[in-house]
Amino acid sequence: MSQIQREQLKVVAERAILVAVVLPDTYVDAQDRFAELRALTETAGATVVGELVQKRRKPTVRTYLGKGKVLELAGLAKMTEATLIIFDCDLSPGQIRNLEETVECKIIDRSELILDIFANRASTLAARLQVEIAQLEYTYPRLKAMWDHLGQVVGGAPIGIGTRGPGEQQLEIDRRLVQRRRRQLQRELEGIQQRKTREVQQRRLDHYTVGLVGYTNAGKSTLFNQLTAGGAFAHAKLFATLGTRLERCDLGGGNHVILSDTVGFIRDLPHHLIASFRSTLEETVYAHLLVIVQDVSDPNAQMQLEVVNRTLDEIGATEQPRIVVLNKMDLLEKPSDLLVWLNRLPEAIPISAAKGEGIDQLRDWLSLHMLGGEKEVSITIPLTDSRSISFLEQRAKVLTREYGSEEVILQVLIGRRHIDQLLAQGAQMRINGISPLEAVKAIWNDDPEEIVATRIPPHER
């Protein structure tokens, strides 16, 4: 293969053939094996000109596909004038080399395709750094040579997909350059990340935060726009959102939550990408509540929900409750399909983010969660703490007031969250005659917010 071809490994405007191997434990919908890979390919800007599937018990070491199938692929590539072959799995550097020799066409794998999409979409500095680190980490073991143009990369432009270079001789120099570049990016990113962690934790104390999460294209940004003043980019393409957006979501009665919309998850997300997207996912990890948006009209919905739950576990978002909203219910052909979901997840809320259905119910639900269960208690506050008294008058339902010369006793209907906020602003109060910490434990059977801070892993505090 010529060097010129090798250096133009961009997916955009390519004619692509998609290849999948169905193994016995393959869990993707068999009816349309290529639905997701096709969508990813088109999102990257290429045109699909052919598809090839092989059923095997296990992949071959040399070329992943069997020998005969590799020849069939070479024939198909010639016939369709394909310029790119995309495998729906991860390939080893050796497999890529062997395949390219026989098929005489660029070969990339699923992770490289996803990285390429991320590289093209990254618009914030943090996202660009994160993608570039992930590319260096993923591409690094595949390097032969090609870092002589690293000068261009230093400007911050992400390196192109499949930039596994042509020669062998420069390998050692290249490795050192890559390492140096990676350390430099890592340092920049760490600076951003530390600021971010502080910001997120402060926000968590000041507000109740809700993270929208879900598989890519599930409708997170559409729902975000419904619940807030809007402004998030919602699009039929995969990975329309790569950063995190925050917006206030009013719930009525003077209450609000801070809602975040973030990057979508996908099966087999390159793990370097998860690691380096950590700062983007920070809002999610520390949110008080996670709302999983699931597209129930997708044939692979069940698998997607499993991927989302697993990814949340992987990034350490395990402390908060997760609720599921069953989105795109307007696209379900049979209403009974919804019942199947509700049987399995009785707490889930059916919605259509696009049509605005079920949104009020979701708002009520968020309110309930935010307030953490309203209880009737008596709160005793010194009259000098006027800030706390006016907070209670505005936010809680005050049933009776009993003024003394130095204190007031308010009988109120109040949620746990409001107690947290009062404590965070330094309220001097007793609840039911005892200390607020003991009262929260006794009444809500839970620890107050200050104690939550100790649940954050020590290395991130």
Ligand X SMILES: Nc1nc2c(ncn2[C@@H]2O[C@H](COP(=O)(O)OP(=O)(O)OP(=O)(O)O)[C@@H](O)[C@H]2O)c(=O)[nH]1
The binder of 177, among ligand X, Mg ion, none, by C-beta within 5 to 8 A per type, is none
Applying CB under 5 A, the span of 189-197, 213-221, 347-355, 356-364 interacting with Mg ion comes to 213-221
Q: Does residue number 218 form part of the binding site for ligand X (CB under 6 A)? A: yes
113 binds ligand X (CB under 6 A): no
User: Nearest Cα to 253, choosing from 367, 158, 421, 107?
Assistant: 367
Provide, rounded to whole angstroms, the least separation between the CB of residue 352 and ligand X.
4
Token pair of 433 as six digits: 């005659």
| C-alpha distances in Å from residue 267, one per residue of 150, 273, 282 | 31, 12, 20
DSSP state, 385? -
Those residues whose C-beta lies under 8 Å from the C-beta of residue 275, and which sit 6 or more positions away, are: 134
SS3 273: helix
Helix axis angle, 416-424 relative to 359-371, nearest 10°? 60
Q: Using CA atoms, how far apart are residues 106 and 163, in angstroms rounded to an integer? A: 11
Question: According to the binding rule CB under 6 A, does residue 239 interact with ligand X?
Answer: yes
Closest approach of ligand X to the CB of residue 297, in Å? 7
* Closest-CA residue to 315 (of 373, 354, 269): 269
Kindly state whether residue 330 participates in binding ligand X, applying the rule CB under 6 A. yes
Is residue 220 a contact residue for ligand X (CB under 6 A)? yes
Q: Decide: is 163 part of the binding site for Mg ion (CB under 5 A).
A: no
Q: Which two tokens stand for residue 68?
A: 């005969």
* Cα–Cα distance measured from residue 197 to residue 133, given in angstroms and rounded to the nearest whole number: 20
**53 Cβ partners below 8 Å, 6+ apart?**
19, 20, 21, 22, 33
Give the rounded distance of the alpha carbon of 340 from its chain centre: 26
Is residue 341 within 8 A of residue 311, CB to CB? The reply is no
Q: Which of 211, 219, 436, 448 binds ligand X (CB under 6 A)?
A: 219
Query: 49 and 80 in contact (C-beta within 8 Å)?
Result: yes
The site partner of 328 among Mg ion, ligand X, none (C-beta below 5 to 8 Å per kind) is: ligand X
Nearest 5°: the CA angle 340, 341, 345 is 125
Q: Does 235 bind ligand X (CB under 6 A)?
A: yes
Least spacing, CB of residue 427 vs ligand X, in Å = 39
Q: Which stretch binds ligand X (CB under 6 A): 135-143, 215-223, 359-367, 376-384?
A: 215-223
**In the complex, minimum distance from the CB of residue 213 to Mg ion, in angstroms, rounded to a whole number:** 11
Q: Does 240 bind ligand X (CB under 6 A)?
A: yes
Kindly tell me which of 197 and 221 has the beta carbon lying closer to ligand X: 221
Could you tell me the two tokens for 134? Answer: 């992930």
Residue 83 binding ligand X, by CB under 6 A:
no
Question: Which CB, 240 or 392, lies closer to ligand X?
Answer: 240
Tokens encoding 131: 């993608």
Q: Which stretch binds ligand X (CB under 6 A): 137-145, 243-251, 318-326, 327-335?
A: 327-335
Candidate list 236, 254, 334, 445; residue touching ligand X; CB under 6 A: 236
**Residue 352 within binding range of ligand X, rule CB under 6 A:** yes
Binding range to ligand X, per CB under 6 A, among 93-101, 326-334, 376-384, 392-400: 326-334
Under the criterion CB under 6 A, does residue 328 sit at the interface with ligand X? yes
Considering only 120, 193, 209, 241, the residue that binds Mg ion (CB under 5 A) is: 241
Query: Do 31 and 20 form a contact (C-beta atoms < 8 A)?
Result: no
In the complex, what is the shortest distance from the CB of residue 331 to ligand X, in angstroms, rounded to a whole number?
5
With contact defined as beta carbons under 8 Å apart, do 261 and 230 qualify? Answer: no
448 interface partner picked from Mg ion, ligand X, none, CB below 5 to 8 A per type: none
**Which residues would be at the binding site for ligand X (CB under 6 A)?**
214, 216-222, 234-236, 238-241, 264, 327-328, 330-331, 352-354
Q: Which residues sit at the interface with Mg ion, rule CB under 5 A?
A: 220-221, 240-241
